A and B are shown apart, each in its own frame.
Chain A
Amino acid sequence: MKKFACIVTLSLLFPVGTRGQTVVEGAVTDLLGRAVDAFVTVRPKGAGGILAYTDTDERGHYRLSFNTQADSVAVTASGMTIGNRVRLLANRSQRVDFRVSEQQMELREVTVRAEKIRQQGDTLNYNVAAYQQQGDRVIGDVLKRMPGIEVSDNGAIKYNGKAIRKFYVEEMDLLQGRYGLATNNINAQDVATVQVMEHHQEKKMLRGKEMTDDVAINLKLKNSAKGTVAVNTMVGGGWQDPPHTLPAREGAVGNQTLTSYNVFAPFLTGRAGGGAVLWTAEAVGMYFAKTRQNMTVYKGNNAGDDVSRELTSHYSINSIPLYPFCPTGVIMPSGSGLSQKRTFDNRSNIVSTNHLEKLSPDKEMTFNAAYYNDRIRREGYAESNQFLSEADRLLTQETMTSETTLHNLSAQARYCNNSSGAFLADVLKVDAGWNTDRVSSLLSSSRVDVQGLPVADYGDEQVAQHFRRPTLSVSNTFNTTQAIGRNHFDLHFSAGYARRPNTLTVGIEADPPLAIPVREGAESDSEDVTSPSFSANAGGGAVYRQDLTSHHIAARFNTGYNLRVGDYFKFNYGINASANLHGIETDLDGFTPPADGGWQDPPHTLPTREEVVSSQTLTSYNVFAPSLTGRVGGGSLNDLWYNTYTLALGQSYKYEIHDFSLTLGLPLELYAQTLDDRVRDDRHGYVHLLFAPSLSMNWSITRDLWFNAGAHYSKTVGDPGGIYSGYIMSNYRTFQRSYVEQLSETQNLGAQASLRYRSAIHAFFANAGFNYRRTHDNQIYGYTYEGATSVVQGVNQPTVANSYSLSGEVSKGFDFLRSTIRAFAGYSLSASERLIGGQLYQYHARAVSGGGNLSFSPFEWMGIVYSTGFSFNWSKTLTDTASPQTGGWEGTTVRSHTQRLSMSIFPTKKLTLTLAAEDNYNNLTATHRHAWFGDAAAKLKLKRVDMELQLNNLFNQHRYSRVTYSGLDIFTHTSQLRPRNALFTIRFKLL
């Protein structure tokens, strides 16, 4: 009985029993019973290849024996005279005879003509010659035309919606993530094939064992480009029209009229004047051999080309993140949203050297160093129209000019032993920067009622900001994976140190107060405005100096033991530990700290304020500094160490069959924080137990179609930004302190799903994704206003935010007209709450975006690229004053649209002419809603020399305005553009 029970139990536990060997035999004969020369194969029904095969003998007999777990099998008799005859059978030993008539073999005739994309397992091979056009110089130009591959403006590459995780040249990672150097400098004609490797596993020892979802790109060079030193150089010069100064005032933002001043000219005199001489130069040396690779690059220009993008690291080496605490910065002109070349006023130089030495087939050393120097000037004008209360709005205008000087040096050395038996890598990394920002600006602000009539005018201020922000960081990362039988053990250890000794100095000078037009009957609060703003300086101004030195020491230790259990299960257990030590020393001069050292409630009583205010942030326009200093407490010094430690038991459980995997993560983390505030002589600590479960699923539905989905939950406690009791000048408008009495708690719940499809044969790629995120906080930041002063504070009131997004993308290559088409679309929805003036408002935002591009060649002598993109953004807030017809919702739609048409003509094989036109539209811009740009270029390719003449901004557009809207506030940013310019370059190959 016990034996029977055991058998039953085992049968229940292992419902899929192991099948024995199956034997299928029989004969293949013609209709007359004569033997046929054939062979017989067997395969599982559905997916899967041939398991066994045999020939028929002289009597037509055959016998097949095989093992498979499939319920059914397909037995096929094949031969040149009979074609393929298939029988579906149950998977059991049996006799199967085939009586067949003669049948002509079916054959799809094929002639390969430079196959554009070729699939080989998980690797897609893009034939570079098939996508290259006459005007293309570097491989990055050709990558943009390949279906399924997307190159973003910053040089990052995505394949079918996924960012690539590795970039190789001849299967070696010379550039360690800075692959912009390769895509912008390796000649297209030197590359035979671009390989996209799906499910790429970097560690050789795990290939075929641990499948990843990572994508890598490998450039296969032509033989002529291997083993030879190539040196390419370029020099060029040009001329740029004189810049236009920004106008005094645009006149309107949305439906609100702004008053006008004419005080901006003095700030712009530095930029106004004659035209400018442009220059550009580069020298690129490359060597790619089997055991050694080198790429050394110098590039410099003042022509608006942001060469520093080539130094952007697009994937990390899994080094420890270092972020020395620094909440200080300057307020600068914001970006235009246009292509950076339109606005970038630069004097850039980069030098980079990269060397790889292959010590043996498995071992390699890599060294990368880069230096970047730049002087960037920006000029802009910003307007904001902000909701103060349901009766009033705050209008501000600010004109700014800035100059940023950058000196950044980074170096990295890596050793890697990547063999089929073990993996070991160690990376030593050093980064240093000596950077400064200088900004001059003029700020004016006023308050208006809902009809736009002025209530108060807060005058003008001239502001000078100077920020020195040197940084230094050093880190080392070690990783090894060792095989232990069929299991493997992974160990990761990284440690680093970073330091920021920064100083922000601000000088503010108030212009004489202006006569304030006050509407009749309105209560005047002008006495606050007319009082001297900067009592600290008898001359009517103030100087603030913020010194901040922060240190970050970090270490991380992860282990993982991967255990295979049976054929279908993998368990992973590990101990993970980390330590983050933040040292913060600050000293603020020129600011008088509040006398009482404590927080006083703002005038508007917050409805649900319960306990201690956890953090305080004062955002003040400085005309109100005296009134604030009288009622806000706290010192101007900080000297503290804020440390966090984690110790976690990592555990994950994976069920995997060949097409499907399900992973459950159940990490358990002990999280500790300590604060040692030496100014307040305060020491305390917190300990929490955190749990962050996750579930993910991957399913290969077919060979070309994948589905994955996942969900996760996590909780974070505390915030490094909520720890300091002394005031810090975040920027000249904001003096902030933040002190933890009760820790913030944030719970995150997220879910995602994505579907990806690719067909190499049809050059068709598609992907779609869905994301959901829910955040629950125990605190919310509330905004209250006194005059033009906004006060931001956190209060202990729970709040929930939800967001949903859908996105999709398709791309397809056609042989017809050598065309490639790409289209994308996205939709997002979010719902959250805002606390303004003590009242809670519901806030909803929706966005729809879409676009695409089309590249085709209607004739051999012409190539056309058209790209377009649009976005509609709706955001609205539930208010009492909104029209009942809208259900109480108040909001606006922002529509923007951009399109660009570029046409290249090839009159001869040596000459390429390119004309491009571009339109940018925004429906909320008061004037110039359409901004048109025109560019032209001519390239002449001779035997050893290439010449190019570029004419940019032919219509001489001199400014561009971008409007954004967030429920109740409207922001307009106007940027000064690079004027019309011409640049002539000559390229030649030295070696």
Chain B
Amino acid sequence: MNRRIISILLALAVYIGAFAQQNQGEVIPSTKTRRGLKEKQVGTTIMHVDYAMNADSIGQEQTYIDKQRLEVGRDCAKYSSLFLRRFVGSTRPTQNGQAILRGGKPGKNNAYWNDIQFADLFFKDGQVTEYVSMPMYHESNDCQFTEPCPPQQWTLTPREEIVICGYRCQRATCRWRGRDYVAWFAPDIPVKRGPWRFNGLPGLILKLYDTNRFYTFEAVGLKKVNGPMMLYDFPYSKSTRQRVRKLQRTLQVNYWKATAQTTQFPDKPFEQLEKE
């Protein structure tokens, strides 16, 4: 009962405070996310690329939904949220050591959880493992799953080019898991990767968006490094992509209904990145 009351109060506070500017559901992140997890080395990073997700204005972090980093190694890669890393890094226990205080998550709509931001991807040997952290009251559903990660079926458009981060980029398109995407890749950077699970183009993808612009990713930084690639030692249980996506969708559409079984709040329109 208490849980239900707290949920409703929280929902009211959040709903009144920020009813505008939503392109994601109003889902409350967990203060326990990744608390106490240790990191382990899984490879060597030779370069990393930072992407702004759904930015209003490139270069101004406060206008991004998220800032994400692709770490590229010789035989592996990792994709994770930098804003979430900062959020986790700001964890402070209270004086009695029980509760956890966290600073504000950077970026736009920073009060909320979203399914892309709270997932870490690790690529190796043509497979991807996704580590998924669920929102408040759903931490028990934190999970991981592994599946093949083949390249998308890209169509190149040789005549269309733009410049991103000083690199000439060529246009390519594909349809993947229910959406049409446009990618701009840099042939001068011989890395066949990009944001999220997009890969396989003959050059690093520096910008990618679906044709409805529900999701946009654009590179805002490239750097050569030579350091360990660190991954949380997630103790998450195994699951499948279908189950995870279904739960993520349910939470985004109506978190309060999924959490407290209340019907006081209407469903929110939600455009999941992977529709299939």
A41-77 contact mask (Cβ, 8 Å, vs B): 1 or 0: 1011000111111000000000000000000000010
Contact: B166 with A108, CB < 8 Å? yes
Write out the residue numbers on chain B whose beta carbons fall within 8 Å of the beta carbon of A113.
59
Stretch from B78-86, B87-95, B217-225, B238-246 contacting the other chain: B217-225
Contact: A50 with B170, CB < 8 Å? yes
Write out the residue numbers on chain A whose beta carbons fall within 8 Å of the beta carbon of B57.
114, 127, 129, 192-193
Write out the residue numbers on chain B whose beta carbons fall within 8 Å of the beta carbon of A105.
46-47, 189-191, 224
Q: Closest residue of chain A to B185, judged by CB?
A: A50
Contact: B21 with A49, CB < 8 Å? no
Known pairs A105-B224, A227-B20, A761-B166 / 6 extra A-B pairs, C-beta < 8 Å:
A38-B190, A43-B187, A51-B156, A78-B202, A84-B190, A127-B60
**Is B74 among interface residues, defined by CB-CB distance under 8 A?**
yes
**Is A371 among interface residues, defined by CB-CB distance under 8 A?**
no
Among all A-B residue pairs, the 4 with the closest Cβ atoms = A114-B59, A78-B190, A49-B158, A49-B170
Contact: A223 with B56, CB < 8 Å? yes
**Is B149 among interface residues, defined by CB-CB distance under 8 A?**
no
Contact: B163 with A760, CB < 8 Å? yes
CA distance A84 to B158 in the complex (A): 18
Residues of B within 8 Å of A, CB-based: how many?
40
CA distance A465 to B220 in the complex (A): 67
B154-198 contact mask (Cβ, 8 Å, vs A): 1 or 0: 001111111101110011000000000000000111111000000
19 contacts between A and B (CB under 8 A): A39-B192, A39-B202, A49-B158, A49-B170, A50-B156, A50-B170, A51-B158, A78-B203, A82-B190, A107-B47, A108-B167, A110-B166, A111-B220, A111-B221, A115-B58, A120-B162, A127-B57, A223-B56, A703-B161
**Is B141 among interface residues, defined by CB-CB distance under 8 A?**
no
The smallest C-beta distance from B153 to any residue of chain A, in angstroms, reads: 13
Contact: B58 with A112, CB < 8 Å? yes
What is B's interface to A at a CB cutoff of 8 Å? 20-21, 46-47, 56-60, 63, 72, 74, 156-163, 165-167, 170-171, 187-192, 201-203, 219-224
State whether A118 and B58 are in contact (beta carbons under 8 Å apart), knowing that A50-B187, A105-B190, A761-B163 are contacts in the complex.
Answer: yes
Q: Closest residue of chain B to A39, judged by CB?
A: B202
CA distance A4 to B32 in the complex (A): 84
Contact: B190 with A79, CB < 8 Å? yes
Write out the residue numbers on chain B whose beta carbons fall within 8 Å of the beta carbon of A43.
158, 187
Residues of A within 8 Å of B, CB-based: how many?
46
State whether A84 and B222 are in contact (beta carbons under 8 Å apart), knowing that A51-B156, A110-B165, A224-B21 are contacts in the complex.
Answer: no
The smallest C-beta distance from A170 to any residue of chain B, in angstroms, reads: 13
CA distance A81 to B57 in the complex (A): 35
Write out the residue numbers on chain B whose beta carbons fall within 8 Å of the beta carbon of A38.
190
State whether A48 and B162 are in contact (beta carbons under 8 Å apart), knowing that A53-B202, A113-B59 are contacts in the complex.
Answer: no
Q: Please tell me which one of the listed residues B74, B158, B192, B223 contacts residue A109 in the complex, with CB atoms under 8 A apart.
A: B223
Write out the residue numbers on chain A whose beta carbons fall within 8 Å of the beta carbon of B47.
105, 107
The smallest C-beta distance from B22 to any residue of chain A, in angstroms, reads: 10
CA distance A987 to B56 in the complex (A): 28
Contact: A114 with B58, CB < 8 Å? yes
CA distance A761 to B159 in the complex (A): 20
Q: Closest residue of chain A to B206, judged by CB?
A: A110
Contact: A83 with B161, CB < 8 Å? no
The smallest C-beta distance from B183 to any residue of chain A, in angstroms, reads: 13
The smallest C-beta distance from B184 to any residue of chain A, in angstroms, reads: 9
The smallest C-beta distance from A201 to any residue of chain B, in angstroms, reads: 16
**Is A80 among interface residues, defined by CB-CB distance under 8 A?**
yes
Contact: A81 with B156, CB < 8 Å? no
Contact: B222 with A41, CB < 8 Å? no
Write out the residue numbers on chain A whose beta carbons fall within 8 Å of the beta carbon of B163.
119, 760-761
State whether A81 and B56 are in contact (beta carbons under 8 Å apart), knowing that A50-B202, A111-B221, A121-B162 are contacts in the complex.
Answer: no
Contact: B202 with A49, CB < 8 Å? no
State whether A658 and B202 are in contact (beta carbons under 8 Å apart), knowing that A39-B190, A111-B221, A113-B59 are contacts in the complex.
Answer: no
**Is A604 among interface residues, defined by CB-CB distance under 8 A?**
no
State whether A121 and B160 are in contact (beta carbons under 8 Å apart), knowing that A80-B46, A114-B60 are contacts in the complex.
Answer: yes
**Is A222 among interface residues, defined by CB-CB distance under 8 A?**
yes
The smallest C-beta distance from B232 to any residue of chain A, in angstroms, reads: 25
CA distance A847 to B209 in the complex (A): 53
Write out the residue numbers on chain A whose beta carbons fall within 8 Å of the beta carbon of B191.
80, 105
The smallest C-beta distance from A175 to any residue of chain B, in angstroms, reads: 24
State whether A127 and B192 are in contact (beta carbons under 8 Å apart), knowing that A50-B170, A761-B166 are contacts in the complex.
Answer: no
- The interface centre, meaning the residue of B63, B74, B158, B166 with most chain A CB atoms within 10 A of its CB, is B158
CA distance A107 to B188 in the complex (A): 9
State whether A222 and B192 are in contact (beta carbons under 8 Å apart), knowing that A49-B156, A49-B157, A50-B158 are contacts in the complex.
Answer: no
The smallest C-beta distance from B78 to any residue of chain A, in angstroms, reads: 15
State whether A192 and B162 are in contact (beta carbons under 8 Å apart), knowing that A79-B190, A80-B190 are contacts in the complex.
Answer: no
The smallest C-beta distance from A289 to any residue of chain B, in angstroms, reads: 12
Write out the residue numbers on chain B whose beta carbons fall within 8 Å of the beta carbon of A39.
190, 192, 202
Contact: A41 with B56, CB < 8 Å? no
Contact: A48 with B159, CB < 8 Å? yes
CA distance A886 to B165 in the complex (A): 60
- The interface centre, meaning the residue of B60, B158, B190 with most chain A CB atoms within 10 A of its CB, is B190
Write out the residue numbers on chain A whose beta carbons fall within 8 Å of the beta carbon of B56.
192, 222-223
Q: Closest residue of chain B to A127, judged by CB?
A: B57
CA distance A130 to B57 in the complex (A): 10
- The interface centre, meaning the residue of A53, A83, A703 with most chain B CB atoms within 10 A of its CB, is A53
The smallest C-beta distance from B152 to any residue of chain A, in angstroms, reads: 13
CA distance A761 to B162 in the complex (A): 11
CA distance A48 to B161 in the complex (A): 9
CA distance A44 to B167 in the complex (A): 19
Contact: B162 with A115, CB < 8 Å? no
Q: Please tell me which one of the listed residues B159, B203, B221 contacts residue A658 in the complex, with CB atoms under 8 A apart.
A: B159
Write out the residue numbers on chain B whose beta carbons fall within 8 Å of the beta carbon of A658.
159
CA distance A153 to B78 in the complex (A): 54
The smallest C-beta distance from B24 to any residue of chain A, in angstroms, reads: 13
Write out the residue numbers on chain A whose beta carbons fall within 8 Å of the beta carbon of B162.
119-121
CA distance A869 to B163 in the complex (A): 36
Contact: A112 with B190, CB < 8 Å? no
CA distance A223 to B189 in the complex (A): 34
A22-54 contact mask (Cβ, 8 Å, vs B): 1 or 0: 000000000000000011010110001111110
CA distance A761 to B190 in the complex (A): 22
Write out the residue numbers on chain A whose beta carbons fall within 8 Å of the beta carbon of B167.
108
CA distance A898 to B219 in the complex (A): 46
Contact: A41 with B220, CB < 8 Å? no
State whether A112 and B161 are in contact (beta carbons under 8 Å apart), knowing that A79-B190, A107-B47 are contacts in the complex.
Answer: no
Q: Closest residue of chain B to A123, judged by CB?
A: B162
Query: In A80-133, which residues have CB < 8 Å from any B CB?
Result: 80-84, 105, 107-115, 118-121, 127, 129-130
Q: Please tell me which one of the listed residues B72, B157, B161, B221 contacts residue A110 in the complex, with CB atoms under 8 A apart.
A: B221
CA distance A773 to B64 in the complex (A): 54
The smallest C-beta distance from A813 to any residue of chain B, in angstroms, reads: 15
The smallest C-beta distance from A228 to any residue of chain B, in angstroms, reads: 8
The smallest C-beta distance from A470 to any residue of chain B, in angstroms, reads: 49
Query: In A198-240, which residues have CB < 8 Å from any B CB?
Result: 222-224, 227
Write out the residue numbers on chain B whose beta carbons fall within 8 Å of the beta carbon of A703.
161
Write out the residue numbers on chain A whose beta carbons fall within 8 Å of the beta carbon of B159.
48-49, 658
The smallest C-beta distance from A106 to any residue of chain B, in angstroms, reads: 8
CA distance A129 to B58 in the complex (A): 11
Q: Closest residue of chain B to A108, judged by CB?
A: B166
CA distance A118 to B60 in the complex (A): 13
CA distance A456 to B21 in the complex (A): 80
CA distance A99 to B224 in the complex (A): 26
Q: Closest residue of chain A to B74, judged by CB?
A: A80
CA distance A827 to B152 in the complex (A): 57
CA distance A81 to B192 in the complex (A): 13
Q: Closest residue of chain B to A52, judged by CB?
A: B156
Query: In A920-944, which residues have CB < 8 Å from any B CB?
Result: none
Contact: B222 with A107, CB < 8 Å? yes
The smallest C-beta distance from A312 to any residue of chain B, in angstroms, reads: 31
Contact: B63 with A192, CB < 8 Å? yes
CA distance A224 to B165 in the complex (A): 28
The smallest C-beta distance from B180 to any residue of chain A, in angstroms, reads: 16
